Amino acid sequence: MVVNLALLPFIEDFEVCCQYSWGSAVLAYLYRGLCKGADHHTSVVGGCMLLLQLWAWERLPMLRPEGVIAELNIRDLPVGARWVGAHFWGNVPHHVIRAYRNQLDRVNQQMFVFEPYNALFPQLPDYCTADQAIWTARVPLIYFYIIEHYYPDRFCRQFSRFPRCPV
């Protein structure tokens, strides 16, 4: 694992470290990487690709590997831990880029899982679901010099809301 040395002062004191919004920083860095990667002259994407991969597997069933551990069997582990099981890729064609692009081009709203975690909410401790209004707050996500604006109204279906025209 590679860690940016600029982060070391922030993890020096674990009492203070747990008060930072690390998820916001990771998301800001991923958003910036995806924006830069969308340029047609770019051949790489920066950011936490594991987060993007888990997001895609949770919401796009046609991209999921087989052999995933059921949510009920992971109990006190993070939801992402269910993807650590043995995966079976035998049915994936050798030219995967073309196959995945074809699948993604054909996605419609019935094929997309907008709220993959709703069934898990009753099993979570109260502190995980407290302050749900924060989930939809329009705020900047900050990671050092990277500031990415968070617009939850653009993907409100994952919060059981229907989209409005963007402001």
pLDDT digits (tens, 9 = 90+) for 28-82: 888 888 888 888 888 888 888 888 888 888 888 888 877 677 766 777 777 777 7
CA distance 83 to 67: 8
pLDDT digits (tens, 9 = 90+) for 69-80: 776 677 777 777
CA distance 81 to 83: 5
Contacts with 19 (C-beta within 8 Å, 6 or more apart), sequence order:
none
pLDDT at 109: 85
Q: Which range among 9-18, 35-44, 92-101, 131-140 shows the weakest confidence by mean pLDDT?
A: 92-101
Answer whether residue 166 is part of any domain: no
Give pTM, 2 decimals: 0.71
Q: Which residues pair with 140 in a beta bridge?
A: 149
pLDDT at 95: 63
Domain range enclosing 12: 5-159
Answer whether residue 57 is part of any domain: yes
Answer whether residue 167 is part of any domain: no
Contacts with 119 (C-beta within 8 Å, 6 or more apart), sequence order:
71
The total number of structural domains in the chain stands at 1
Q: Which residues pair with 122 in a beta bridge?
A: none
Model confidence at 150: pLDDT above 70: yes
